[in-house]
Amino acid sequence: MEIRSKIWLEIDGEPVFGSGRRALLDGIIRHGSINRAAKDINISYRKALSYIKTMEQRFGKRLVERKAGGKSGGGAILTGEAKELLQRYKTLEDGINVMLDKKFKEVFASKKVTLKN
């Protein structure tokens, strides 16, 4: 048996960042392109733009700098603040995964409930 988890961040009860948006920003770093980042995670370019716009509005910060060139031309890079956010989120995720496993073992290790796995 193992523990699974999903985490995300909210502002005023509205989701603002999670694994999907994390993957999108990672893709933009990797490809220098919103379009190719969107393809990597199977969402449309339009959807990716909408994710970015919503994040930027909720955080009140510019996160992605777009260069001219249209849908498949041009390029995109993350702002310093987006990189900082991404870095902190990854640190959070990593820290949490370690803690979850530890806590899970702590609580279920001395199991009187003898489970199958």
Provide the binding-site residues for a second copy, judged by CB under 8 A. 1-12, 15-16, 58-61, 81, 84-85, 88, 91-92, 95-96, 99-100, 103-104, 106-108, 111-117
Smallest separation (angstroms) from a second copy to the CB of 64 = 14
Distance separating alpha carbons of residues 88 and 25, to the nearest angstrom: 13
Smallest separation (angstroms) from a second copy to the CB of 73 = 30
Instruction: Characterize 95-116 residue by residue with b for buried, 16 or more Cβ atoms within 10 angstroms of its Cβ, and e for exposed.
Output: eeeeeeeeeeeeeeeeeeeeee
Comparing CB distances to a second copy, the nearer of 36 and 58 is 58
Comparing CB distances to a second copy, the nearer of 15 and 20 is 15
Comparing CB distances to a second copy, the nearer of 38 and 64 is 64
Report whether 51 contacts 45 (CB < 8 A). Answer: no
Distance separating alpha carbons of residues 16 and 52, to the nearest angstrom: 10
